[in-house]
Amino acid sequence: MVVDGGSRDGTMEVARKVPGVVALASARGRAIQMNAGARAAQGPILLFLHADTRLPDGALEAVQGVLADPAVVGGRFDVRFDSPRPVLSMIAFFMNLRSRRSGISTGDQAIFVRRDVFESLGGYAEIPLMEDVELTRRLKRRGRVVALRSRVTTAARKWQQEGALRTMVLMWALRFLYMWGVAPARLHRWYYHRDP
């Protein structure tokens, strides 16, 4: 499933030409788009992959393998950036460590979940930012969440354009502020420099 939120870059035209791909148009917003894809999907397992992230070889088999345990409700992959810069390798290491210790995942880590569990949780909260954090917080309460060590590869674009250290501090600050109740719409403005 490819769910497009109104892009003008030809995504839908390209997606519709790929055999086996279902391309859906949706209102804009990651949570809204992922919920639309989940509703249209038919399988018992949902895996949410951002457009700038690639799965490693054997990813689907790994997901099926861990979900063979009925105690496991979902999980995520470790992440790496598509850049050889040492600072980004270090940041990815600490992102993976933080996620493994906290049980909280980001969308860049290709979150996967049993469909029935996802539906019982009401899907992603349709908020403009922190939808991934919100979902994984609720998911942890439902059962075991697995952190797969195989790594997805995600774009380093934002980190390179805005500075790795600055982006890391911003992300930590946004998470902290979200935990203290700052509205996701305000956090979205700080992160993207525009309204949702």
Going by pLDDT thresholds of 50, 70 and 90, the confidence category of residue 48 is very high
Helix locations, the chain, DSSP H:
11-17, 30-40, 59-66, 86-102, 115-120, 131-140, 157-162, 164-179, 184-192
* Distance in angstroms (rounded) separating the CA atoms of residues 35 and 28: 11
* Distance in angstroms (rounded) separating the CA atoms of residues 147 and 169: 24
Lowest mean pLDDT among 9-18, 44-53, 83-92, 186-195: 186-195
- pTM of the model as a whole: 0.92
Kindly report the three-state secondary structure assignment for every residue of 91-133: HHHHHHHHHHHHCCCCHHHCCEEEHHHHHHCCCCCCCCCCHHH
Q: What percent of the chain has pLDDT over 90?
A: 78
Q: What is the pLDDT of residues 90-108, one digit of tens each?
A: 999 999 999 999 999 999 9
Q: Give the residue carrying structure tokens 């950036």.
A: 81
In the chain, which residues fall in CATH 3.90.550.10? 43-162
Going by pLDDT thresholds of 50, 70 and 90, the confidence category of residue 170 is confident
**Angle at the Cα of 147 (from 143 to 150), degrees rounded to 5?**
150
Mean pLDDT of 123-141: 95
Is pLDDT of 193 > 80? no
Q: Are strands 72-81 and 144-154 parallel, antiparallel or unpaired?
A: parallel
Of 57, 152, 137, 134, whose CA–CA distance to 103 is shortest?
A: 137
Is pLDDT of 196 > 80? no
Superfamily of domain 43-162, CATH level 4? Spore Coat Polysaccharide Biosynthesis Protein SpsA; Chain A (3.90.550.10)
Q: What percent of the chain has pLDDT over 70?
A: 100
> What pLDDT is stored for residue 128 in this prediction?
93
Side chain identity at 71, as an amino acid letter? A
- Phi and psi torsions of 51, nearest 5°: -60, -25
Mean pLDDT of the chain: 93
